[in-house]
Amino acid sequence: MAAALRVVSWNIRAAIGPGPFPDRWWSRIDADRLRAIGAFLAALDADVIALQEAALIARNGDLMDNAGDLARQLGMELRYGATRTFGVVEGDATVGAGLFGNALLSRRPIADARVVALPAAASDAFVEPPGSDHPASGVRYADAPPGIREPRCILHATVAKVRIGTTHLSHVGSGERRLQAEATVAAFANSPAALLVGDLNAPIESVELTPLASWTDAFVAPPGDASRVSTDDGSSIDHLLARGMSISPARVLRDAGDLSDHYPVTADAAVPS
């Protein structure tokens, strides 16, 4: 019988909790909340934990390391990937710098980790097509507010003969997400057994996720089913996808409560012999 690899994916929102995303959000990172996230994860007995929105912040000499602190709490190996950096500003002063990205934690050895920057749409592309039902419909990226796009990446590595990747696609811009989904598939081109997990910022039936259509969706409920809802605002955007291997039905763990604005998702994959 093939060994099982229990995988959990969770957008932890930098341990700032749910609610509107605040200005100077790095000042709201809550060490107690992060420890509670770690305690919840510890009870899941996971082999691999994929995180999104994991922050690494240097602020006035203090280091806030979401992924590193969780890895130490859980006794797991860690790889971290980010392509977004920013200055930490208080008033008129820059007091540090930060990274915001994805992480893989594993209790099995991690090999050959890679970070791949995902593409951004062209500046003259529409954020959303004209006529679509979206506030950014007909707006070109060149004319959009600066915060509407952020650099994105996929972090992938080998654990127990399986190539596992975690990513967080753009929160606005279906065309940009389509480009990123295509690049994500390309990142697994030479991986016969693979898992892709993360916050794809779109339901599985979305046109922009068509490049992933040949992958096995670990959720067995049909698109639109309430059992797929993985955020506190009712969205079904966190996914577990497999290729070249079998996987058990995915579950959303809503008993995580308000530790984040997302709930963890989990499934067991069969490790190839």
114-135 pLDDT, tens digit each: 999 999 999 999 998 998 888 8
Chain centroid to Cα 154, Å, comes to 9
Q: Residue ranges per domain, the chain? A: 4-270
Whole-prediction pTM value?
0.96
- Retrieve residue 137's tokens: 């419909």
| Element spanning 162, H or E | strand 162-168
Euclidean distance between CA atoms 238 and 235, whole angstroms: 9
Cβ-Cβ contacts under 8 Å for 109 (sequence gap 6 or more): 77, 159
Which of 71, 52, 141 lies closest to 110, judged by CA? 71
Burial-class residue 227 by CB neighbours within 10 Å (0-12, 13-18, 19+).
middle
- Quick one: pLDDT at residue 149? 85
DSSP 49-83: EEEEEEEEEEETTEEEEHHHHHHHHHT-EEEEEEE
Residues 134-154: tens digit of each pLDDT = 888 999 999 988 778 899 999
**3-state SS class at 249:** coil
The pLDDT of residue 2 is above 80: no
**Mean pLDDT along residues 181-185:** 97
Instruction: Give pLDDT, residue 167.
Output: 98
pLDDT at residue 3, rounded to an integer:
79
How many helices (H) does the chain have, and how many strands (E)?
3, 13
- What mean pLDDT comes out for the span 157-165? 96
Average pLDDT, the chain: 95
CATH class label, 4-270: alpha beta
Strands 4-11 and 48-59: parallel
For 20-60, what is each residue's pLDDT tens digit?
988 899 999 999 999 999 999 999 999 999 999 999 999 99
User: How confident is the model at residue 56, as a pLDDT?
Assistant: 98
Q: Across residues 145-173, what is the average pLDDT? A: 94
Angstrom CA distances, 46 to 43, 50, 64, 76, 206, stand at 8, 10, 24, 10, 29
Given a cut of 60, whether residue 1 has pLDDT beyond it is no
Tell me: the pLDDT tens digits for 234-244?
999 999 999 99
